[in-house]
Amino acid sequence: MALTREALESQLNDLRADVRREALLALVEMSARGEIKVPSPRRVVNLHCHTSFSYNGYGWSPSYIAWKARVEGLLAAGVVDFDVLDAVEEFLWAASVVGIRACAGIETRVYVPQYAGKEINSPGEPGIAYHMGTGYVPGVSGDTTLLARLKSIAQHRNRMMLGRINALLDPVVIDYERDVASLTPNGNATERHLCIAYDLKARRMYPDEGSRVEFWSSRLNTDPQKVSGVVNKPPELQGLIRSRLMKSGGAGYVQPSGPEFPTLEQFNAFVLEAGALPTMAWLDGTSEAERDIEKLLDAMMEGGVAVVNIIPDRNWNIADPKLRKIKVEKLHEFVTYARKYDLPVVVGTEINAYGQRFVDDFDAPELQPLAETFVEGAYTVYGHTVLQAHARMGYLSRWGRKNFMARKERNAFYRRVGECVAPGTADVLDSLKPEMGPKDVLRICCKS
């Protein structure tokens, strides 16, 4: 008996890769038979979806994200996971199968020595910046030693937090390998997985709701009425656990030390080694470093940054009108500087917490003037991705640097490639040769 669409979509989030693969192929076949209608792409993108290989608020796998992006009519989609590149191959394959433009990358934290005394985009952690690599292709990861270091730093911090929180929550104690690492496909757990594990353990130990409310209110030092309102809403309870125990000031919080992370230059070199694009992550313009946009951009570009990333929803979808005004103004100012410096802008909504929207509202008055810049950035990074994958002729490749001295011309070329190469048809690019010039490359791309 054939599985229903709903059953197959559920299997897309299975922890087993073979199950996800077969489910996606079955859904694509249903679509080809006309049993599932998919819309034409509209000019909206999300290039910053976290997956189940680090943490996704809905447990979505790379295959599910590619499928959802296609059936919701996105023009392009991208995945970014913390400290690992595990989703790259699956996502780019899935995007090609379903027919959507795609890119993939990594996010981590780096140390920026010149900002050692200032907050950048990691609240309460001076000198430390969330930072990214964008436009990875299958089979090329860069320095595996650094990758192992990134994962080790994160997992060591998680284990330290677990030890502190176990002492506070005893008898609700958890084991890292059994209860936490097992929640992800490749064991790359985050502090959000710790929250899930503690929630599940408390439910087993205190099946009575009243007892569970009493436990959490006492251990989180929170009004029982507030706990009662979320105790049967896992995402909200887990968010409360995280905010009370794992963020700055909480019993489990582990203050990071800047030098324990790779420096900005070290991480950017790692990204470049893989043929990907060093990417600055912008928060919201309110930190000491981000308030001086031009100075920060100069430092980041000097360190190797070629692309910038924004989470637009954090910059305009805010209840407080005064704060909203400040952040919207900073958002527009930041994009103005990015345009001035000819830096492609990629955007997305993360999905690293339950309740986040799948794609930004590009029609919102605050975003509409920026929407075309966001779409152009998606075309550019997708153009880089297909040329890098098929001919090692990406944006910062030897070929790219040789043929384009000015970023403006380079952006226009890769954007045009991204517009021309339809998703799922990139095999035609296998005929590309490194001795070809930009005109010949475009001739092939625009016939694909």
Range of the domain at 26: 1-34
Q: Clarify whether residues 114 and 212 are in a common domain.
A: no
For residues 10, 14, 17 and 20, what is the CA-based torsion angle, rounded to 10 degrees? 0
**Number of compact structural domains in the chain:** 3
Give me the pLDDT at residue 141, please.
86
Q: Clarify whether residues 289 and 330 are in a common domain.
A: yes
In a domain, 288, yes or no: yes
Q: Clarify whether residues 169 and 238 are in a common domain.
A: yes
Q: Clarify whether residues 303 and 365 are in a common domain.
A: yes
> Which residues of the chain have a pLDDT value below 50?
none
Q: Clarify whether residues 128 and 113 are in a common domain.
A: yes
Give me the pLDDT at residue 426, please.
76
In a domain, 330, yes or no: yes
C-alpha distances (whole Å) from 246 to each of 191, 192, 261 are: 8, 9, 19
In a domain, 210, yes or no: yes
Give me the pLDDT at residue 90, please.
98
Q: Clarify whether residues 307 and 373 are in a common domain.
A: yes
Q: Clarify whether residues 279 and 372 are in a common domain.
A: yes
In a domain, 435, yes or no: no
In a domain, 415, yes or no: no
- pTM for the full model? 0.95
Give me the pLDDT at residue 279, please.
98
In a domain, 301, yes or no: yes
DSSP 397: S
| Cβ atoms 42, 75 nearer than 8 A | yes
Q: Clarify whether residues 304 and 374 are in a common domain.
A: yes
Q: Clarify whether residues 27 and 7 are in a common domain.
A: yes
Number of helices (H), then strands (E), belonging to the chain: the values are 18, 7
- The CATH number covering residue 343 comes to 3.20.20.140
Neighbours of 240 (CB within 10 A): 21
Q: Clarify whether residues 69 and 9 are in a common domain.
A: no
Q: Which amino acid, one-letter code, is at 327?
A: K
Give me the pLDDT at residue 184, please.
92
Give me the pLDDT at residue 448, please.
63
Q: Clarify whether residues 377 and 228 are in a common domain.
A: no
* 366-420 residue pLDDT tens: 999 999 999 999 999 999 999 999 999 999 999 999 999 999 999 999 999 999 9
Q: Report how far residue 318's alpha carbon sits from residue 316's, in angstroms, rounded to the nearest whole number.
A: 6
In a domain, 393, yes or no: no
Q: Clarify whether residues 95 and 178 are in a common domain.
A: no
C-alpha distances (whole Å) from 399 to each of 39, 82, 391, 396, 414 are: 36, 30, 10, 8, 12
Q: Which amino acid, one-letter code, is at 413?
A: F
Burial readout 105-131 (b: 16 or more C-beta within 10 A, e: otherwise):
bbbbbbbbeebeebbbbbeebbbbbbb
